[in-house]
């Protein structure tokens, strides 16, 4: 019983980490209708930027305070992601307005390759560390109730709290600020928003910037857990079932979907896996999402697609 | 001046409905076939065959299959790598477990099993559309990745999970040298290309295109979406499965499931979109572009580096390949979102009028 | 005057031609993995290999023949590796030998090299059954393959417990890369599990191994007494981090020789203290003679391939050893086919099959304390089955066992059985004595 609760809890934590990545996808799709396959590459690029600058800043300035290095690296990486967002809008999206979904999808795939190559050229293909002082040792709760206690991974809990804080911040941003309202207007109906004078191009730059910051936070957390290397970009493939389960246009969907997928993955691997030899969690997540889709084809919280003939 | 239908009168419906109604087109295609079968074996060296021409022919076949599903029927599928894997492993099992199995029958059997798997994983398309379907087909991809690693029966109980075939023979002729392999694959490509061209011009092809353009309207006028979508998955998976069998048997000789990973699926989708969706010629253009470009960059960049005197490391060449590949794809989509096939048809249009401007 | 000019010109031409003809080169292609999922680990290998090749040239070449290296990037992908092979095999007068550094690429090239007559050196990876030279004429898993690694790890664990019989009833988990590379370790472990009576718990980890929480939750649930890791690239580092996160003692973890190098553990630092790995003879050898010579003759002149602080690290040394074996095989071939001449692939193959590196020779080359003697033959393409264990102390590796030898009495029959199966499938006949002389 204790182990079941542990697995459940780990699944929830893993799910939160997946939602962090999924958030970026959802934000961009909501506002501009583009399925940004490059989100994984953006996570990698942002994490690489932060890891390397956290190394270089002490070397350049001589200040070895860890907090200073990390904060400075975070800010610089954030600025770099803003620049990336602006360039993507300027060089790619502006020229592909009104194209079909598959064309835009392919364009983001092209951006993925470009960012992967650029990131490794500028920052290197070695494995780099992000040290934000996360505790690495586990703690054991309820030692008396369950033999051996329930294993709680402190790093994951802190990551989940950061993710929750990020979602709360984003909700505040969307509900209370005028830019947020403009973003929601654009997400609702591009043409109507344009007709009341909201500048679409600027909004798209802002959305990609926000997605870039989300990618940076996701990259920071995943990078702290795993180390920053090229394979970090593959977390995007783990986050895709989350998006389609939750719905491509819903932020709460990304969270709920993440939790469901995380729990489903871990429980399936630990309890079903041994019967079939193991290694099933990746395809199980997709099959789980697929099963949900058969009942709700737009995901749990997604918008119904209305076709007019 | 040269490319016009002046003087070509059709006297029967049959003649009017042929694939290449314009005589110049027929001559051009015959010339290309002659070039492909007769001239190419003499023109290129072994490396060109092994590294460029054979992969190009096999991937063009796979892109043809994917184009039928994505381009003609509008169902975005990211599971093509899995269907190639099913084709390869099914062909392997048929070839190895049954003594005296002819090679062609084994490859076609691979295609049949790929069809069954394709139709099964195509069932979600009846409920799910667009990007949701694309991600759902990834379920097929990852499931097959896992199945071919875990289920030992598929790999003939080899301890390592890697399988290999050798001593390929067709009607007594060995398929050993690069030229023989190339001709073998080219035959498959030509036969399947002809079949596909005819299929997309037939009733079922028109049903696919109707579903792609407006599936609700198509259902309203009596086209059965289930039939159309599942036949698209079936035909597409068959062709992709045969291509997978060829890839494993002829090109690689010895393979593991990672040869048909999700990167392969993305590669095939790239070929279809760069080449032109909904166009048979487009599959060939796309395959040529995607196969030749990385190799070209790999040789060209160090040459450029030597020219300007800057030593370029292999790692940088690899990264630059990625960057240029990505940038070219984006540039291409901006310049011509409908792909290379569109450029080809624009060229043919202009040729009809040449030398007049309009 | 004119005649004098002609004579002078012709003398210069002949001298020039003679000098040009002396610039003979033995081509050693490198299939590198400097990008992609294994970059942190494969890059030092390529750097070590290239540096040693430069050192050989600085020492005067192989009896005067200089070495030439050209790299081709595979990013650990099999089809790219095959394309690199096709591109490089005929260049610069023909490739001498290929070292694919990837089990996947090895499987693919095993089919091609008999036709192209180029040997493959797969030191410490590839097909374990290719140690049987009777079937695999062109494959050379010199100084070790995965079944040696598995056996030595088990031996070390047995020693720690006080005897191999103490393994009975224990549970040993194996976290392996879900691919032919990872699976290649399992046969020896299964064989020994049956023999000594311990339970094996196989835990496949899907490539690239970014998220391993479920695997390590299962480890926590099953509480195996020991964990063996057969992972490569970033998967190893992630595994150790996840082990830390579930509180599995690192002292109970043992990696094979591709899962125990600095790039895997540097990030984890003190958290990985106690993690051990079996090493194919060499470890991190910063104090060895050959490293000192490389720093002096190559890096000091600014010709080092990689960063200087990498010289002597574990994977760097593996590259150095790979280059050493490649070069010494050519040297052995030259003894038979002509000293000072460029060797073809076929001739080099004979050299690899007749390697006899005594301890004196190895010490003279700078490998004192690093390597033990290697001696190959027609039916034994491995040549040595020694290994030892090193342990991470929080910032570097220290040796934690003596030299251990794998039990060839158990391994050789397994190798032969597997090779026979391959020969039956491919309809090959086992090589006989006459074929062994070529």
**What six digits make up the tokens of B233?**
């998955």
C77 and C207 belong to one structural domain: no
What count of other Cβ atoms lies within 10 Å of the Cβ of residue C93? Answer: 13
CB-based contacts of A198, cutoff 8 Å, min separation 6: A182, A185, A186
What pLDDT, on the 0 to 100 scale, is given for residue C16? 44
Gap from B311 CA to chain A (nearest CA, Å): 15
Q: Which of C213, C271, C315, C316 to mutate to test the interface with A (most CBs of A within 10 A)?
A: C213
| Residue B338 in this model has a pLDDT that exceeds 80 | yes
| Alpha-carbon gap, residue C247 to A139, rounded angstroms | 9
The residue behind tokens 């196989």 is C202
Contact assessment for residue A131 and residue A51, using Cβ atoms and an 8 Å cutoff: no
Are the beta carbons of C107 and B259 separated by less than 8 Å? Answer: no
User: Contact A96/B333, CB-based, under 8 Å?
Assistant: yes
Please provide the average confidence, as pLDDT, over all residues in chain A. 88
Specify whether C106 is located in the same domain as C192.
Answer: no
Here the tokens at position C184 are 């290649």
Say which residue, A63 or C270, is predicted with more confidence: C270
Does the distance separating the beta carbons of C107 and B162 come in below 8 Å? Answer: yes
How many angstroms separate the CA of residue B104 from the nearest CA in chain C?
A: 20
Q: Are residues C159 and C93 in the same domain?
A: no
- In this predicted complex, what is the ipTM? 0.89
The pLDDT mean for chain B works out to 90
* Backbone φ/ψ region at C347: left (φ over 0), alpha (ψ -120 to 50), beta: alpha
Interval A262-286: pLDDT, tens:
999 999 999 998 888 888 889 999 9
Reported as a single tens digit per residue, the pLDDT across A19-52 is: 989 999 998 888 888 888 899 999 999 999 999 9
Q: What is the CATH number of the domain that holds C174?
A: 3.40.50.2300
**How far apart are alpha carbons C117 and C90 in whole angstroms?**
11
- Dist CA C311 CA C393 (whole Å): 20
Contact list, C40 vs chain A (CB under 8 Å):
125-127, 229
- CA distances to A265, C308, C413 from C298, rounded to whole Å, are 51, 10, 44
Least-confidence region, from A82-91, A128-137, B339-348, C231-240: A128-137
Residue B1: per-residue pLDDT: 74
Q: List the beta strands (DSSP E) in C62-111.
A: 66-73
**Structure confidence at residue C22 (pLDDT):** 46
Mean pLDDT, residues B169-184 = 90
Are C202 and C176 a contacting pair, CB within 8 Å? yes
Topology at the third CATH level for domain B45-353: ABC transporter involved in vitamin B12 uptake, BtuC (1.10.3470)
- Go through chain B and tell me how many residues it has: 358
CB neighbour burial string for A165-176, b if at least 16 within 10 angstroms, e if fewer: ebbeebeeebee
pLDDT at A140: 83
Question: What's the pLDDT score for residue B349?
Answer: 87
Query: In whole angstroms, what is the distance from residue B321 CA to residue B323 CA?
Result: 5
Contact residues on chain A for C316, CB-CB shorter than 8 A: none
Query: Is residue C383 domain-resident?
Result: no
Classify burial at B132, counting beta carbons within 10 Å of its beta carbon; exposed 0-12, middle 13-18, buried 19 or more: buried
pLDDT at C2: 56
Contact A93, A204 (CB under 8 A): yes
Query: Taking CB atoms and an 8 Å limit, are C83 and B161 in contact across chains?
Result: no
Q: What confidence score (pLDDT) does residue A168 get?
A: 87
Backbone angles phi, psi at A86, to 5 degrees: -65, -40
Cβ distance B270 to A109 less than 8 Å, yes or no, reads yes
β partners of residue A261: none
> pLDDT at position C270, please?
87
DSSP string, B16-55: HTSS--SHHHHHHHHHHHHIIIIIHHHHS-HHIIIIIIHH
Does residue C411 lie in a domain region? no
C183 in reach of chain B (CB within 8 A): yes
- Tokens 């929080």 found at: C394
Cβ pair C263, C40 in contact under 8 A: yes
Going by C-alpha positions, the residue among B343, B324, B277 that lies closest to residue A100 is: B277
- By DSSP bridging, strand C386-392 and strand C397-399 are antiparallel
Q: Residue C23 has what pLDDT? A: 58
Same domain, C232 and C250: yes
Report how far residue C314's alpha carbon sits from residue C258's, in angstroms, rounded to the nearest whole number: 10
Chains that touch B (3 or more CB pairs under 8 A): A, C
In DSSP notation, C154-188 reads: HHHHHHHHTSGGGGTT-EEEEEEESSHHHHTTHHH
In C4-50, beta strands by DSSP E: 25-32
Choose among B76, B139, B330: nearest Cβ to A286. B139
Q: B347 Cβ partners below 8 Å, 6+ apart?
A: none
Same domain, C228 and C101: no
Looking up tokens 């040394």, which residue turns up?
Answer: C317
Three-state SS string over chain A comes to CHHHHHHHHHHHHHHHHHHHHHHHHHHHHHHHCCCCCCHHHHHHHHHHHHHHHHHHHHHHHCCCCHHHHHHHHHHHHHHHHHHHHHHHHHHCHHHHCCCCHHHHHHHHHHHHHHHHHHHHHHHCCCCECCCCCCCCCCEEECCCCCCCCEEECHHHHHHHHHHHHHHHHHHHHHHHCHHHHHHHHHHHCHHHHHHCCCCHHHHHHHHHHHHHHHHHHHHHHHHHHHCECHHHHHHHHHHHHHHHHHCCCCHHHHHHHHHHHHHHHHHHHHHHHHHHCCCCHHHHHHHHHHHHHHHCCCCCCCCCCCCCC
CB atoms within 10 A of CB C178: 24
Q: Which residue has the tokens 């095939």?
A: B268
Is the residue at C381 inside a domain? Answer: no
- Region for residue B309 given its phi and psi (left: phi exceeds 0; alpha: psi -120 to 50; beta: otherwise): left
Q: Which of C183, C217, C248 to mutate to test the interface with A (most CBs of A within 10 A)?
A: C217
Picking from C217, C234, C245, the nearest residue to A231 by CB comes out as C234
B231, pLDDT greater than 90: yes
Of B132, B142, B327, the CB nearest to A244: B132
Are both C124 and C37 inside the same structural domain? yes
Contact B318 C43 (CB under 8 A): no
Q: Are both C82 and C203 inside the same structural domain?
A: no
Q: A277 — contact with chain B (CB < 8 Å)?
A: yes
C267 and C338 share one domain: no
Q: Is C50 on the interface with B (CB under 8 A)?
A: no
Strand C120-121 to C139-140 pairing: parallel
Question: At which residue do the structure tokens 């920052």 appear?
Answer: A123
- Considering only CA atoms, which of B32, B29, B36, B91 is closest in space to residue B240? B91
Quick check: A277 and B150 CB within 8 A? yes
3-state secondary structure of C293: helix
Mean per-residue pLDDT, B161-179: 87
Contact between A265 and A281 (Cβ < 8 Å) = yes
Q: Mark yes or no for CB contact A109/B329 under 8 Å.
A: yes
Give the model confidence (pLDDT) of C27-39 as tens digits: 999 999 888 888 8
CA distance C74 to C83: 9
Work out how many domains chain C is built from and give that number. 2
Give the domain extent around C361. 2-144+284-375+416-436
Q: Rounded to an integer, what distance in angstroms lies between the CA atom of residue A199 and that of residue C274?
A: 59
CB contact under 8 A, C218 and A127: no
- Which residue, among B53, B54, B159, would best test binding to C if mutated, counting the most C CBs under 10 Å from its CB? B159
* Cα Rg, chain A, nearest whole Å: 20
pLDDT average, residue stretch A100-123: 89
The predicted-structure confidence for A232-267, as pLDDT tens digits, reads as follows 888 888 999 999 899 888 888 899 999 999 999 999
User: Which residues, 6+ apart, have CB-to-CB distance to C195 below 8 Å?
Assistant: C410
Tens-place pLDDT, residues B179-205: 999 999 999 999 999 999 999 999 999
Q: Which residues of A touch B145 (CB under 8 A)?
A: 282-283
Is the domain of C200 the same as that of C319?
Answer: no
Name the pLDDT band for B158 (thresholds 50, 70, 90). Answer: confident
Residues in chain B with CB shorter than 8 Å from the CB of A297 are 127-129, 132
Lookup result for tokens 């030998």: C97
CA dist A265 and C170 (Å) reads 29
A230 touches chain B (CB under 8 A): no
Q: Phi/psi of residue C2, each to 5°? A: -65, -45
Q: Are C282 and C321 in contact (CB under 8 A)?
A: yes
The pLDDT, as a whole number, for residue C251 is 93
Q: pLDDT 10s per residue in chain C (438 long)?
A: 455 555 544 544 444 444 444 458 899 999 998 888 888 889 999 999 999 999 999 998 899 999 999 999 998 888 889 999 999 998 888 899 999 998 889 988 998 899 899 999 999 998 899 999 999 999 999 999 999 999 999 999 999 999 888 889 999 999 999 988 899 999 999 999 999 999 999 999 988 888 898 999 999 989 999 999 999 888 898 999 999 888 899 999 999 999 988 888 888 888 889 999 999 998 888 889 999 999 999 999 888 888 888 898 999 999 999 999 999 999 999 999 988 889 999 999 999 999 999 999 999 999 998 999 999 998 999 999 999 999 999 888 999 999 999 998 999 999 999 999 889 888 888 888 787 776
Pairing of strands C171-177, C226-230: parallel
| Same domain (yes/no): C326, C255 | no
């Amino acid at each position: 019983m204790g182990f079941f609760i542990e697995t459940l809890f780990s699944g929830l934590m893993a799910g939160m980490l997946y939602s962090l990545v999924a958030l970026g996808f959802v934000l961009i799709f909501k506002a501009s209708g583009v399925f940004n396959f490059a989100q994984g590459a953006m996570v990698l690029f942002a994490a690489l930027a932060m890891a390397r600058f956290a190394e270089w800043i002490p070397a350049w300035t001589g200040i070895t305070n860890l907090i200073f290095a990390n904060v400075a690296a975070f800010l610089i990486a954030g600025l770099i992601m803003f620049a990336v967002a602006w360039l993507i809008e300027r060089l790619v999206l502006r020229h592909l307005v009104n194209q079909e979904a598959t064309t835009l999808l392919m364009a983001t795939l092209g951006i993925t390759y470009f960012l992967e190559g650029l990131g490794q050229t500028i920052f290197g293909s070695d494995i780099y560390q992000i040290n934000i002082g996360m505790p690495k040792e586990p703690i054991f709760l309820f030692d008396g109730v369950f033999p051996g206690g329930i294993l709680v991974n402190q790093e994951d809990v802190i990551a989940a709290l950061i993710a929750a804080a990020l979602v709360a911040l984003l909700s505040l941003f969307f509900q209370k600020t005028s830019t947020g309202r403009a973003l929601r207007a654009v997400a609702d109906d591009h043409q109507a928003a344009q007709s009341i004078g909201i500048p679409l191009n600027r909004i798209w730059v802002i959305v990609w910037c926000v997605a870039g910051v989300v990618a940076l936070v996701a990259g920071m957390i995943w990078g702290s857990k795993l180390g920053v290397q090229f394979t970090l970009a593959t977390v995007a493939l783990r986050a895709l079932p989350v998006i389609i389960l939750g719905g491509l246009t819903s932020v709460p969907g990304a969270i709920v979907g993440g939790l469901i997928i995380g729990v489903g993955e871990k429980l399936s691997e630990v309890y079903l896996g041994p019967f079939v030899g193991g290694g099933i969690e990746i395809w199980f997540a997709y099959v789980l999402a697929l099963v949900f889709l058969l009942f709700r084809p737009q995901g749990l919280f997604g918008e119904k697609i209305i076709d007019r003939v | 001046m040269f490319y016009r239908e002046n003087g070509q009168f059709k006297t029967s419906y049959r003649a009017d409905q042929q694939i290449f109604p314009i005589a110049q087109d027929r001559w051009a295609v015959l010339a290309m076939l002659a070039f492909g079968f007769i001239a190419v074996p003499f023109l290129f060296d072994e490396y060109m065959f092994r590294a460029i021409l054979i992969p190009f022919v096999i991937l063009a076949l796979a892109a043809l299959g994917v184009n039928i599903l994505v381009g003609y029927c509008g169902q975005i599928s990211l599971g093509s790598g899995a269907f190639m894997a099913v084709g390869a492993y099914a062909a392997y099992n048929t070839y190895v477990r049954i003594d005296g199995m002819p090679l062609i029958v084994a490859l076609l059997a691979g295609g049949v099993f790929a069809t069954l798997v394709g139709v099964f994983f195509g069932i979600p398309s009846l409920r799910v559309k667009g990007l949701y379907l694309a991600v759902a087909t990834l379920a097929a991809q990852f499931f097959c990745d896992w199945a071919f690693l875990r289920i030992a029966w598929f790999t003939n109980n080899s301890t390592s999970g890697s399988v290999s075939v050798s001593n390929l023979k067709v009607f007594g002729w060995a398929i050993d040298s690069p030229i023989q392999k190339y001709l073998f694959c080219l035959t498959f490509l030509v036969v399947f290309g002809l079949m596909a061209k005819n299929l997309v011009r037939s009733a079922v092809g028109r049903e696919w295109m109707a579903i792609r353009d407006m599936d609700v309207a198509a259902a309203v006028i009596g086209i059965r979406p289930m039939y159309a979508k599942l036949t698209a998955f079936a035909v597409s998976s068959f062709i992709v499965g045969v291509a997978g069998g060829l890839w494993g048997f002829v090109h690689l000789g010895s393979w593991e499931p990672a040869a048909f990973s999700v990167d392969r699926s993305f590669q095939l989708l790239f070929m279809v979109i760069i080449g032109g969706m909904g166009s048979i010629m487009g599959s060939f253009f796309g395959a040529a572009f995607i196969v030749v470009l990385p190799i070209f960059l790999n040789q060209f960049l160090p040459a450029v580096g030597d020219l300007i005197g800057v030593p370029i490391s292999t790692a940088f060449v690899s990264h630059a390949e990625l960057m240029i590949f990505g940038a070219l794809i984006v540039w291409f989509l901006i310049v011509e979102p409908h792909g290379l096939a569109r450029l080809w048809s624009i060229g043919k249009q202009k040729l009809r009028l040449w030398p007049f401007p309009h | 005057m004119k005649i004098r000019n002609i004579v002078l010109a012709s003398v210069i031409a002949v001298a020039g031609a003679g000098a040009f003809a002396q610039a003979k080169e033995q081509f050693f292609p490198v299939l590198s993995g400097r990008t992609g999922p294994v970059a942190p680990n494969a890059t030092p290998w390529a750097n070590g290999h290239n540096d040693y090749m430069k050192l050989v040239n600085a020492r005067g070449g192989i009896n005067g023949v200089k070495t030439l290296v050209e790299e081709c990037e595979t990013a650990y992908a099999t089809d790219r590796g095959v394309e690199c092979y096709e591109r490089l095999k005929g260049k610069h007068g023909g490739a001498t030998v290929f070292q694919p550094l990837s089990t996947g690429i090895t499987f693919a090239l095993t089919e091609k090299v008999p036709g192209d007559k180029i040997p493959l050196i797969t030191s410490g990876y590839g097909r374990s059954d290719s140690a049987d030279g009777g079937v695999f004429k062109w494959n050379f898993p010199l100084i070790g393959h995965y079944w040696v690694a598995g056996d030595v790890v088990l031996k070390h664990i047995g020693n720690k417990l006080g005897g191999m019989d103490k393994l009975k009833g224990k549970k040993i988990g194996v976290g392996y890369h879900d691919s032919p590379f990872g699976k290649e370790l399992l046969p020896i472990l299964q064989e020994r599990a049956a023999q000594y009576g311990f339970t094996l718990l196989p835990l496949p980890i899907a490539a690239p191994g970014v998220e391993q929480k479920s695997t390590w939750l299962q480890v926590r649930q099953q509480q195996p007494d020991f964990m063996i890791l057969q992972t490569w690239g970033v998967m190893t580092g992630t595994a150790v981090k996840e082990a830390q996160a579930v509180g599995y003692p690192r002292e109970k973890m043992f990696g094979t020789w591709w899962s125990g190098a600095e790039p895997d553990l540097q990030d984890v630092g003190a958290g990985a203290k106690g993690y051990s790995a079996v090493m194919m003879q060499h470890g991190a050898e910063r104090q060895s003679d050959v490293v000192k010579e490389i720093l002096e003759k190559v890096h000091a002149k600014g010709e080092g391939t990689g960063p200087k602080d990498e010289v002597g690290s574990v994977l760097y040394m593996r590259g150095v050893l790979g280059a050493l074996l490649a070069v010494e095989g050519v040297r052995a071939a030259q003894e038979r086919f002509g000293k000072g001449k460029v060797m073809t692939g076929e001739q080099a193959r004979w050299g690899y099959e007749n390697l006899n590196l005594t301890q004196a020779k190895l010490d003279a080359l700078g490998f004192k304390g690093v390597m033990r003697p290697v001696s190959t033959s027609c039916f034994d393409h491995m040549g040595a089955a020694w290994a030892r264990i090193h342990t991470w102390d929080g910032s570097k590796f220290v040796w934690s066992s003596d030299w251990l030898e794998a039990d060839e009495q158990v391994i050789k029959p397994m190798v032969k059985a597997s090779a026979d199966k391959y020969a039956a499938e491919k309809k090959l006949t086992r090589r006989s004595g006459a074929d062994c002389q070529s």
